[in-house]
A = this chain, B = another copy of it.
Amino acid sequence: MTAPRSASQRRSDALEKLNAVHADAWVATASGQGAHLVPLSFAWNGEQVLLATEERSASVQNLRSVGSARIALGATRDVVLIEAVLDRIVAVAEAPDVIAEIYAGQADWDPRDAGGDFVFVVLRPVRVQVWREANEIAGRTVMRDGSWVD
């Protein structure tokens, strides 16, 4: 096992994954019936995670009712795990250009070309945990209550 990373290194590694182009995240949401889990392309605008999916999808329906999600970036042994709350859901056709441009620039598709009932989902991280092996469980929380831990 390698030595555990420092808090600042983990924060930096989390941001590297948040800024990765053409990457997918595992997005878990909940309804009264159970959990939903699906891989979705994402983008990061420096403060929020941007997803794009269909209005009728289970993820959007769950977010509209529960208002939170867990988002995993990276592999199961190089984990960046984000607890996020819903800021807003906006139809692609009505979205501010800044959201659409950031999403199209980082994800590997542009929902403005997709037709259908796609929406942007804007999520604000409140907790971020970063770990690889057992020796990184301690100190894994690099964001708490929406603030990066110093």
Contact = CB atoms under 8 A, between A and B. Distances in A.
A26 B71 CA distance: 11
A92 interface: no
B34 A26 contact: no
Contacts of A89: none
Copies of this chain present: 2
Nearest to A31: B30
Contacts of A105: none
Contacts of A39: 72, 76-77, 79
A134 to B, nearest CB: 9
B69 A35 contact: yes
B34 A70 contact: yes
Given A34-B66, A35-B35, A36-B35, A28 B25 contact: no
A70 B35 contact: yes
Contacts of A29: 34-35
Given A34-B66, A35-B68, A39-B79, 14 more contacts: A23-B76, A28-B28, A29-B35, A30-B32, A33-B68, A34-B68, A35-B37, A35-B62, A36-B70, A37-B37, A37-B70, A37-B72, A39-B76, A75-B75
